[in-house]
Structure 1
Amino acid sequence: MFVPPAPRNTAVITGHPARTPERLLVDVPDPRSGRSTPLAVWHYPATTGDPGRPLPPIVMVHGFRGDHHGLALLADCLPEREIYLPELPGFGHSPAFPDATHTVDHYAAAVGSALRSLGLVPVAAGERPSAVPPEGSARPVLLGHSFGSVVASRLASADPTPWAGLVLVNPICEPTLAAEGSPVERALTRLTQAYYEAAAALPLRAGQALLSSPAVVWFTGTLLTKTQDLQALAYLHDQHQSYFSAFDGRRTLVEAYRASITSSVLDHADGLALPVLLIAGAQDELGSVAGQERLAARIGGASPEVTLEVLDGVGHLIHYERAPEAARLVRRFTDSLAGTPGTAPTGPLPR
């Protein structure tokens, strides 16, 4: 299949002009030592809608090996929403933790600290926000993609009260090593695990080169892609080649990978006492439809409202391949949340 160059104007994919975010650098404490470390948060001001009646903002958490670029198409498709997109420590413009390991708990703690500092959620004891939300402002919606769905679920389960709702795109519905799938898919999972463990064992330069290999990056994108839209396919590969290796060192990436294969949204489902929308791909290699249905049922034990939307003809890259459709589902969900009452916290995040 001939793949054209990546489109310069992403409106051919989304139907919306590309939005230009501003980068905010927020100091957060290292979850282990407390030392201050910067975390990049990309802010997309709303470009449409009534400035006098702003809609609740959306906080988006990207997936493994991603940065804010990965969710840019989804942000473009929601121009009426103010969006905050933190980059997890060790990826994009956020340096690795100086002392802590890169785990789900530590990622969630860092993101929560940054959001409190920005005034998006209530501050914890001893913290001072650098910004204060306008009086009467609506609670934000939290969204996570892939590994970001696990981080977002951890954050929301620790205290659902600051959030109007939770959206999980391609949620990790079961630990990757235990995921259902064909023999080929299970073999590829084991191959991926061997790849990261080999990169960890090799000498530093060789391991770093293996992790950043353009061929491996291309193969990963090709394996997960289902779209027949050549413009979207070209954009996806261009983005992966440009940003998929923007990680802060081998140790960071290997630690994050180990966290990604040993955790899932199921770990936090019992604490998700808020409305939840799951957007899954029918051909997702990292989460079967049956697994997503089990996850929805489990979340339903705590959530006042859980909705599972399964999109046919797409796998694990909904945010690239079907961004407009995903945005419509997000919009419909968030528009239905007005007046949703708060819920009780279920436990603090680690400090």
Structure 2
Amino acid sequence: MNTERTPGGRRPLPIRWRDRLLVPPAPRDTAVITGHRARTPERRIVEVPDPVSGRATPIAVWHYATEPRQGAEGPTTPVVMIHGFRGDHHGLALLADCLPEMEFYLPELPGFGHSPAFPDAEHTVAHYATAVAAAVQTLGLVPIPATGRPATAPEAAARPVLLGHSFGSVVASHLAAEQPSRWRELILVNPICEPALSADGTRSERTLARLAQGYYAASAALPESLGMALLSSPVVVWFTGTVMAKTQDRHTLAYLHDQHQRYFSAFDHRRVLVESYRASIRGTVLDVADRLALPVLLVAGAQDELGSVAGQERLARRIREVSPRVRLEVFDGVGHLIHYERAPETAGVMRDFLRTD
């Protein structure tokens, strides 16, 4: 297990008691968090069929082109990253910044960010996986070997890596389980390894899960305007970030709160959020663990409210029954916000894992 450190090994900028209530301004330069300059992605719009009706619907995909560095060695295989519940591509930007030598594609799930909701389909894990698969295929990222034969060496080398964070880990694992041979490796950050009210969770974690269920149930039952106001409440967004944040660095705390306030409510409409929430608490990576027949990296937080260490170890054991290579990395001092609080360390683990053939 690892302890928190800031880029370059410097000590964190201490958090004052007032910073918890009155969050300071976010740093203008995220290099103070990552040790790398921020990258600017290009937005692409691809059309995919609605999983139910087949009607065309657009998906925004953010592309980070490779930034070669002299003397740098490392994988150049593209990585498809799937964000978590209520997120968009911004949530995984720090990981992309920490790996400038790598190419990333970040689709925004229908109903979030710049991707409109499905016109007809319910927002479920299966439908999200279908939509991402279609987007990836449209972009030409996944080679299709001829029917009846294994992939050739060039085809295998061209396969992309698939990464999912939080709810995105459920979508990614279901997508990989359907066709594991189309992906080079699977990386799951803060994987959802057990149901929200699992017995392995602490009493406080189960209480928070029940509060969340009540919150979304109330939001769905209220009139449209009141329900939307509750779902988009800055106070609720602040409370969520405050409960989940474990960082001891002021810059990181300010950044994650700023990101939540800016993008946590960037959803299409109430139905999207209610349906996605139901999907997020019903599905887990464990549901398809015995079908993940590809190398898998799990990156978890020891204090994750949505996945205990025991649950992550159980998940790793299940995957090992079918996977050629599994690695579980657990960071101390962090919970469910590894993508903000431990981006440099996570990037280092990713780079090491992808270099191991």
The reply to whether TM is greater than 0.5 is yes
Q: What is the Cα deviation at residue 123 of structure 1?
A: 5.5
Q: Is the 8 A contact 2:123 2:276 kept in 1?
A: yes
**1:222-274, CA deviations, whole angstroms, 9 ceiling, x for partnerless residues?**
11110001000000000000000000100000000000001100111111000
1 CA distance for matches of 2:94 and 2:351? 14
Q: What is the Cα deviation at residue 177 of structure 1?
A: 2.7
SS at match of 1:79: coil
2:172 to 149, 152, 157: 152
**1:146-188, CA deviations, whole angstroms, 9 ceiling, x for partnerless residues?**
0000000000000011111000000000121326222122111
2 CA distance for matches of 1:122 and 1:226? 41
1:99 to 89, 105, 120: 120
**1:80-126, CA deviations, whole angstroms, 9 ceiling, x for partnerless residues?**
0000000000000000000000000000000000000000013599x
With normalisation by structure 1, the TM-score equals 0.91
1:298 corresponds to 2:318: yes
**Counterpart in 2 of 1:112?**
133
2 CA distance for matches of 1:136 and 1:55? 14
The letter for the 1-side match of 2:348 is R
SS at match of 1:143: strand
Q: What is the Cα deviation at residue 135 of structure 1?
A: 7.9
1 CA distance for matches of 2:216 and 2:329? 32
Q: What is the Cα deviation at residue 58 of structure 1?
A: 0.8
SS at match of 1:41: strand
**Counterpart in 2 of 1:180?**
200
Identity of aligned residues (%): 71
**Counterpart in 1 of 2:7?**
none
**1:118-143, CA deviations, whole angstroms, 9 ceiling, x for partnerless residues?**
00013599xxxxxxxx9886321111
**Counterpart in 2 of 1:342?**
none
Q: What is the Cα deviation at residue 5 of structure 1?
A: 1.0
SS at match of 1:255: helix
The letter for the 2-side match of 1:279 is V
1:262 corresponds to 2:279: no
**Counterpart in 1 of 2:262?**
242
**Counterpart in 2 of 1:48?**
68
**1:40-85, CA deviations, whole angstroms, 9 ceiling, x for partnerless residues?**
1000001124799971111100000000000000110010000000
Structure 1 residues 299 and 137 mapped into 2: Cα distance closer, same or farther (>3 Å)? closer
The letter for the 1-side match of 2:244 is L
1:70 to 91, 96, 107: 91
2 CA distance for matches of 1:317 and 1:284? 8
Q: Is the 8 A contact 2:75 2:351 kept in 1?
A: no
Alignment root-mean-square deviation, CA? 1.8
Q: What is the Cα deviation at residue 287 of structure 1?
A: 0.4
Structure 1 residues 163 and 182 mapped into 2: Cα distance closer, same or farther (>3 Å)? same
**Counterpart in 2 of 1:61?**
82
1:285 corresponds to 2:315: no
Structure 1 residues 52 and 136 mapped into 2: Cα distance closer, same or farther (>3 Å)? farther
SS at match of 1:84: strand
**Aligned pairs, number:** 329
The letter for the 2-side match of 1:62 is H
1 CA distance for matches of 2:336 and 2:186? 19
The letter for the 2-side match of 1:101 is E
2:161 to 141, 144, 157: 141
SS at match of 1:191: helix
Residue pairs, 1:160-171, within 5 angstroms: 160-171=180-191
Structure 1 residues 15 and 202 mapped into 2: Cα distance closer, same or farther (>3 Å)? same
Residue pairs, 1:191-230, within 5 angstroms: 191-230=211-250
Structure 1 residues 313 and 99 mapped into 2: Cα distance closer, same or farther (>3 Å)? same
2 CA distance for matches of 1:71 and 1:316? 13
Stretches of structure 1 lacking an aligned partner (at least 5 in a row): 126-133, 338-351
**Counterpart in 1 of 2:58?**
38
The letter for the 1-side match of 2:62 is W
Q: Is the 8 A contact 2:162 2:185 kept in 1?
A: yes
Q: Is the 8 A contact 1:179 1:287 kept in 2?
A: no
- Structure 1 stretch 181-190 or stretch 275-284: which is displaced more? 181-190
1 CA distance for matches of 2:163 and 2:28? 27
SS at match of 1:121: coil
1 CA distance for matches of 2:143 and 2:196? 33
Q: What is the Cα deviation at residue 335 of structure 1?
A: 1.1
Q: Is the 8 A contact 1:24 1:43 kept in 2?
A: yes
